[in-house]
Amino acid sequence: MSGPSSLRTPLARVRNLGSSHSGTQDFWRQRLTAVAMALLIVPVVVIVLMLLGRNQAGAAQILGQLPIAIILLLFILASAWHMKIGMQIVIEDYVHSEKMKLALVMANNFFCIAVALASIYAILKLSSGV
């Protein structure tokens, strides 16, 4: 608690800060990634349907088109970022041990980055036809 000598109002002390001191920022980033995924889900489903039943050469031909590769890459980035934020919020809210919380947040970051990089690599490899 701040004493009577504080010049900041109670609202100024808590504005834009949740329990993790970044609550509204995470809230808006998660909403932004959700909107991005909602806008991209229809084209992604269409692309997946186009890929059904094709061999690697056919998939490379479809994924080799720049707009299709970009749509998939944007969807991967948005969903990996959304997943990272969502799990981090759950960890921060429900894990009470600071050491465990730190370890889980680090593992979450690593996992989300690994999933994103593996997915991006797969899309780039298939789209280049290598």
pLDDT value of residue 71: 97
| Confidence (pTM) | 0.77
Spans of the chain, pLDDT less than 70: 1-6, 12-23, 129-130
Instruction: Please report whether residue 97 resides in a domain.
Output: yes
Instruction: Please report whether residue 12 resides in a domain.
Output: no
Nearest to 37 by CA among 65, 72, 67: 72
The total number of structural domains that make up the chain: 1
Percent of the chain with pLDDT over 90: 70
89: domain CATH number?
1.20.1300.10
pLDDT value of residue 98: 95
Look at residue 26 and give its three-state secondary structure.
helix
Enumerate the H helices of the chain as residue ranges.
Answer: 10-14, 23-51, 56-63, 66-94, 98-128
